[in-house]
């Protein structure tokens, strides 16, 4: 069995995948539908938490080298979702998904040299 090395490169690819997923989930969606659609809410919340989880596992050197990315904020939203889901603010989650994630994806693409 070929075991994939879970290094910074692997983790940044995972973050990109979840960013792209959120972008697809939110395409042509409204905040109102996000609030009312449990599946959409769950999918976005899960993907945001996974982005934060992968960010926690990036090396400090990587985070410092790419300090234009707000790693602490990304990890912070993960903590809010995972540890206090019922208290998570729908507006904050929606804004993260529709405003912060596209910016993060742009930053990730720059890191990967795909811009």
Q: Catalytic amino acids?
A: 78, 83
Q: Residue 27 CB: number of other CB atoms within 10 A?
A: 8
Could you give the CA distance from residue 94 to residue 98 in angstroms, rounded to a whole number? 6
Q: Residue count of the chain, please give it.
A: 115
Maximum C-alpha span of the chain: 45
Could you give the CA distance from residue 41 to residue 61 in angstroms, rounded to a whole number? 33
Could you give the CA distance from residue 107 to residue 50 in angstroms, rounded to a whole number? 17
């Amino acid at each position: 069995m070929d075991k994939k090395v879970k290094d910074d490169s692997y983790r940044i690819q995972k973050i990109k995948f979840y960013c792209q997923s959120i972008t697809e989930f939110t395409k042509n969606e409204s905040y109102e539908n996000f609030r009312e659609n449990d599946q959409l809410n769950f999918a976005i919340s899960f993907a945001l938490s996974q982005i934060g989880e992968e960010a926690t596992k990036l090396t400090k050197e990587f985070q410092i080298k790419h300090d234009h990315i707000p790693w602490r904020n990304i990890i912070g939203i993960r903590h809010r979702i995972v540890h206090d889901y019922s208290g998570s603010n729908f507006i904050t989650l929606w804004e993260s998904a529709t405003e912060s994630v596209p910016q993060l994806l742009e930053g990730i693409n720059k890191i990967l040299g795909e811009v």
